A and B are shown apart, each in its own frame.
Chain A
């Protein structure tokens, strides 16, 4: 079953179009949404959450159509933005009181436990918290109403490596329940390499690829070669290349299968960062 299914979502602005985006997040998996700044990740998340008016397309969450009237579905969805969208004068205890009146499944005990685990004082006002503490509070809120699907928009942006690592552990912990799923957008691809099962790469409002992470990391190859090899390599299926001063860099989606064909070339497994960079900066036939 798909936890989240995005079908042909289009949103047009004057200078940007989120163009016919489709992909799905299988139940029990983490989908990493990557792309450079301005690629459309946040717009897509807003479209998924119905915060903006879509020009076309549909979003299904656990098989049910999600629109502005579908408040029941939102009981199952926890959302964490890149900053904590609560008033700075509130404290966690007050947020708990408010959330208890908002969510049917609000679990005050679980919330208190998360606060203790994250070393957050329930009486400290949000404005006194660091960025990392605010993100942890946002996640504690999302987890305490028993959400099954987490939608996270750049949750690790601006955090130091220790705080980022702690957050990733929290996400992995959440995924211990097989019915849980996460859609996480980030331009810190190393984070996604650690936790994501699938990667969707969005560029200039379009989905360039949506694949299992392992396929990207184990099947793709990056080749650095001279002119003579390049002529042959660029004809391979899906090849993307960049010309440097003295060599070519070629990304081959089917690289693993081609290793035996190009024995003279040194093939390496690319990182997600390198794949992203090649698709953004590279040329294709």
Chain B
């Protein structure tokens, strides 16, 4: 399994550094936004972080998808199952990679927010703090659930057109929800506006937990 992680680390290196640079840029912008926002507009400013948090979600998922596409198109999937690596270990490695990537991107994201909060001369309102926490938890849960769902879908449907289609279907509700949220489409209904992303993300997270054991079974049955 260590060999598989090493392989993915090497192959993702270029994309990873690009995404890290983007994440650092976003993190600096977030920190700056928190640092400069006025007390009367801070809730609205924090709300804008939703858009950047959504980017974190897509970073992880796109990198995980990249490894699957590479594995299948290069024929590595057939190769790896002739090596002393069990199919369970292959699946586990992808989950570990998803956790690693989420941890790194979320860490960079958090650093910007914390620095912004520390440097602020006046504290955020409790509403803004709550919203910030909600955004943060949802984007983490969103990043994990989408990459976990991608892993399950790949094990079942592969990286071909069918697999891509299914992954898009799983991703779509999250994308639409985040867009609705970020564009304030539902702002007239305050409760619904806050509850919608939470419900969709938690449903996606629940789905990923449900699919987690299935992904191992599907990997065992998969023909390559």
Contacts and interface: CB of A to CB of B under 8 A. Distances in A.
Interface string A41-79: 000001001111100000000000000110110110101
Interface residues of B, number: 24
Contacts of B127: none
Given A83-B75, A85-B75, A86-B74, A102 B85 contact: yes
A102 B70 CA distance: 19
Interface string B47-83: 0000000000000000000000010001110110111
Interface stretch (B129-137, B146-154, B216-224): B216-224
Interface in B70-106: 70, 74-76, 78-79, 81-87
A74 B75 contact: no
Contacts of A211: none
Contacts of B6: 97-98, 101
Contacts of A99: 3
A94 interface: yes
A89 interface: yes
Contacts of A83: 75
Interface in A147-183: 151
Contacts of B223: 46, 51-53
A248 interface: no
B82 A49 contact: yes
Contacts of A52: 223-224
A99 B87 CA distance: 17
B2 A69 contact: no
B7 interface: yes
B83 A86 contact: no
Contacts of B87: 68
B10 A49 contact: no
Interface size bracket, A side: 20 to 34
A246 B165 CA distance: 60
A77 B76 contact: no
B174 to A, nearest CB: 29
Given A68-B220, A81-B75, A99-B3, A87 B82 contact: no
A49 B74 contact: no
Contacts of A274: none
Interface string A85-106: 1111110001001111111100
A46 B223 CA distance: 9
Interface of B: 2-4, 6-7, 10-11, 70, 74-76, 78-79, 81-87, 220-221, 223-224
5 contacts: A51-B82, A68-B86, A89-B11, A101-B2, A102-B3
Given A50-B81, A52-B223, A75-B84, 19 more contacts: A51-B82, A51-B223, A68-B87, A68-B220, A74-B83, A85-B79, A86-B79, A87-B76, A88-B74, A90-B7, A90-B11, A98-B6, A100-B3, A101-B6, A102-B3, A102-B84, A103-B84, A104-B84, A151-B82
Interface of A: 46, 49-53, 68-69, 71-72, 74-75, 77, 79, 81, 83, 85-90, 94, 97-104, 151
